[in-house]
């Protein structure tokens, strides 16, 4: 094309061809980087970084943090381990933006959920295993796979440019890799409140800790439901009592707890806590009912709970999940009235109400239920 004679249409065609070439080149770089990405994911999954000292030696979380620090340093992002208020380490890095360019904050977390019963796993939880075209291992998706996605994207973006060169990236970069996200202790929140200047540098925050609407369909998630955990405890007696001698008259802590928990949802399965709205609707990508049943592994004959659409329930409305109950196991249980019991609840809160306000309302609901038990 001749710059002096080309038309706006010519320039648009040239721009489109250039964009297509850039996308193709970027895709080729990503494809070329996948073997390294999978090898790194296997390394990271092998570290049992559960941020609970009752389950795993905290040194394992430090080992994972050091792995993350080294990996991002190698990509030209100066990163350090910063201790957060709960004693865990966040990996924090900052590469200033070129003049006039925005700064992107990359968020991820390297800690993982406990594995619960290892015998329920079809493959070792801390060994990355491919099965039927999918990768399995604790943290393979949430969130170590997403952390590796950040690394792979950075490598594809800079191409053959050395990471230490000024022009390696067209934007500024901030790394925030959390070390106790799965524990719900809000430790990073408190760190951010104490160090606001770093987070104010960001023009955009990119969180990879989410999925696509379906396999192969790139999806931009604009919001996620917030979370807060609540522990409800009931104490009714000084000690356990024989159910044959005292049952029927003595207060039963476990029965009272079960009755409380039953009040948190109505007959349809909607949250029934006074003051928490449950009629919101989702206007984004729909979620097919049949597809949801397959994805969730619902058994034949079961019905989905809650009113509205699947998307309404998953993305626009609150939910309360019972994560665990402190009570005697069935195996070894004796004929005794339980003096105390406890349950851990997980509240998922859509954009709008604050998790704290929902937690308070849920606690008050349980308290009212207990008084009536």
Q: What is the DSSP string of 23-91?
A: HHHHHHHHHHHHHHHHHHHHHHHTS---S-TTTS-HHHHHHHHHHHHHHHHHTT--EEEEE-TTS-EEE
31 is catalytic: no
Exposure pattern of 325-346 as b/e (b: 16+ CB <10 Å)? eebeeeeeeeeebbbbbbbebe
Q: Which of 178, 181, 182, 252 is catalytic?
A: 181
Q: Which of 75, 111, 182, 252 is catalytic?
A: 111
Gap between the Cα atoms of 363 and 334, Å rounded: 30
Residue 30 CA, chain-centre distance (Å), reads: 24
What is the β-pairing status of strands 103-109 and 172-178? parallel
Distances (CA, A) of 185 to 3, 214, 249, 344: 59, 31, 40, 14
Query: Which spans in the chain are helix H?
Result: 8-45, 58-74, 144-158, 187-194, 196-200, 243-246, 253-262, 289-296, 310-311, 355-372
Can you tell me whether residue 210 is helix, strand or coil?
Answer: coil
291 is catalytic: no
Can you tell me whether residue 224 is helix, strand or coil?
Answer: coil
Omega before 292 cis (within 30°)?
Answer: no
| 40 C-beta neighbours (distance < 10 Å), count | 18
Catalytic center residues: 111, 181
């Amino acid at each position: 094309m001749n710059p002096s004679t080309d038309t706006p249409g010519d320039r648009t065609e040239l721009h489109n061809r250039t964009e297509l070439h850039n996308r193709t080149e970027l895709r080729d770089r990503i494809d070329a980087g996948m073997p390294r990405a999978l090898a790194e994911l296997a390394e990271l999954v092998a570290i049992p970084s559960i941020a609970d000292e009752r389950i795993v030696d905290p040194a394992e979380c430090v080992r994972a943090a050091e792995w993350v620090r080294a990996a991002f340093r190698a990509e030209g992002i100066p990163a350090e381990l910063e201790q957060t208020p709960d004693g865990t380490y966040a990996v924090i890095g900052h590469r200033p933006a070129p003049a006039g360019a925005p700064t992107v904050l990359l968020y991820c977390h390297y800690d993982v959920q406990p594995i619960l019963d290892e015998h329920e796993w079809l493959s070792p939880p801390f060994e990355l295993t491919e099965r039927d075209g999918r990768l399995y291992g604790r943290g393979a998706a949430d969130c170590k796979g997403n952390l590796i996605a950040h690394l792979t994207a950075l490598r594809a973006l800079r191409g053959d440019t050395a990471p230490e060169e000024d022009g390696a990236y067209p934007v500024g970069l901030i790394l925030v890799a959390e070390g106790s996200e799965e524990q719900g202790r809000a430790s990073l929140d408190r760190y951010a409140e104490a160090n606001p200047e770093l987070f104010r540098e960001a023009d955009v925050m990119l969180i990879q800790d989410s999925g696509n609407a379906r396999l192969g369909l790139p999806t931009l998630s604009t919001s996620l439901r917030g979370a807060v955990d609540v522990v409800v405890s009931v104490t009714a007696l000084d000690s356990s009592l024989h159910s044959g001698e005292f049952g029927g008259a003595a207060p039963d802590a476990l029965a009272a707890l079960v009755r409380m928990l039953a009040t948190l949802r109505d007959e349809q399965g909607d949250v029934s806590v006074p003051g928490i709205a449950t009629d919101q609707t989702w206007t984004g990508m729909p979620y097919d009912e049949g597809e949801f049943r397959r994805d969730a592994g619902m058994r034949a004959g079961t019905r989905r709970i809650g009113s509205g659409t699947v998307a309404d329930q998953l993305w626009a409305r609150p939910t309360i999940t019972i994560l665990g109950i402190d009570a005697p196991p069935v195996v070894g249980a004796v004929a005794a009235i339980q003096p105390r019991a406890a349950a851990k609840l997980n509240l998922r809160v859509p954009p709008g109400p604050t998790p704290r306000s929902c937690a308070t309302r849920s606690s008050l609901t349980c308290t009212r239920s207990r008084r009536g038990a």
